Amino acid sequence: MRSLPARRTAAVALAAAASVVALAGPAFAHVTVNPGSAEQGGYTAVDFRVPNENDAAGTVKLEVNLPLDHPLASVRTQPLPGWTSTVEKAKLDKPIKVHGNDVNEAVSKITWTADAGVKVAPGQFQEFRVSLGPLPTDADSLVFKALQTYDNGDVVRWIDEAKDGQPEPAKPAPVLKLTKATSADGHGVTASATPSAAADGHGSGHGDAAKSDAASDDKASDSTARVLGVVGIVVGVIGTAVGVLGLRRRNGGSAS
């Protein structure tokens, strides 16, 4: 009978460990922009990273809506084997100046559709690369609301905007943070642009590609560290439970 409290203690500990894992998992499943920041006023290339979080279906379409309150005059997609990209434009209420010229329309949405037989399978992710610019100088972030469609018809709407002082929403929209320009030439190019952008003089060369790779490596390292941290917590909790159970048994044995 004395082993009952020990069993209860172990059960509570295991339940706590399972809760830690359950809470930690979703943090890695969001649609995100990588790298997560770029310099104001410049051109950059980013990846929309899309993980598949459905165990029974594959991702076959991604729609990314670009903000028209801070329109981007130059938007180009990088070819991705097995996927077809389409770009939609919208008329601007007020033209914007880009390199001294008036721009009256801007890209409002990009849609990637998988070819027949292609999908992002369960347990996988895909990156959709885009060259953007010039980035606004009067904003500290850009929000890209995204829709992820599965081959079973399910649609996940990554459109919720995070608010200061409140928990992160369940389906947050991808956000690109904008920082003050530090480049000596004032253009603020912060990541390697696509080859077509480089041909226009907006690309930043191998040095910027290294910056982009470093940013991706830092994010990957951060994710790995968080995973290892969670594993450590789980192991610690289980170890404590096993220790308590053993102590209870020893005390029970000495009493008898």
Choose the weakest-confidence range: 2-11, 125-134, 210-219, 221-230.
210-219
**Residue 69 sits in the same domain as residue 128:** yes
**Residue 65 sits in the same domain as residue 142:** yes
Q: For the residues 118-133, what does the mean pLDDT come to?
A: 97
Q: For the residues 44-58, what does the mean pLDDT come to?
A: 97
- In contact, 160 and 171? CB cutoff 8 Å: yes
**Residue 22 sits in the same domain as residue 38:** no
**Residue 217 sits in the same domain as residue 134:** no
Of the three residues 186, 203, 220, the one that is the final residue of a domain is 203
CATH code for the domain in which residue 81 is found: 2.60.40.2230
Q: For the residues 3-29, what does the mean pLDDT come to?
A: 48
pLDDT tier for residue 232 given thresholds of 50, 70 and 90? low
Query: In which domain, by residue range, is 72 found?
Result: 33-203
pLDDT tier for residue 221 given thresholds of 50, 70 and 90? very low
pLDDT at 117: 96
pLDDT tier for residue 7 given thresholds of 50, 70 and 90? low
The full DSSP string for 227-250 is: HHHHHHHHHHHHHHHHHHHHHHHH
Decide which of 56 and 10 is more confident. Answer: 56
First-to-last C-alpha distance (Å) of the chain: 12
pLDDT single digits (tens) 140-186: 999 999 999 999 999 999 999 988 888 889 999 999 999 998 865 54
Q: Is the pLDDT score of 129 beyond 50? A: yes
Q: Is the pLDDT score of 234 beyond 80? A: no
pLDDT single digits (tens) 19-42: 443 333 444 579 999 999 999 999
pTM across the whole model:
0.64
**Residue 3 sits in the same domain as residue 69:** no
**Residue 169 sits in the same domain as residue 68:** yes
Torsion of CA 92, 190, 62, 221, to 10 degrees: -150
**Residue 38 sits in the same domain as residue 23:** no
**Residue 62 sits in the same domain as residue 149:** yes
The kind and range of the H/E element at 225 are helix 205-255
Q: Is the pLDDT score of 247 beyond 60? A: no
Task: Match 């480049």 to its residue by tokens.
Answer: 183
**Residue 61 sits in the same domain as residue 166:** yes
Decide which of 94 and 26 is more confident. Answer: 94
Domain count, the chain: 2
The full DSSP string for 186-207 is: S----SPPPHHHHHTT---HHH
Strand 141-143's sheet: what is its strand order? 37-39, 175-179, 141-143
Q: Is the pLDDT score of 65 beyond 60? A: yes
**Residue 54 sits in the same domain as residue 136:** yes
Q: Is the pLDDT score of 62 beyond 60? A: yes
**Residue 93 sits in the same domain as residue 22:** no
**Residue 61 sits in the same domain as residue 19:** no
Task: Pick the closest to residue 73 from 92, 86, 48, 45 (CA basis).
Answer: 92
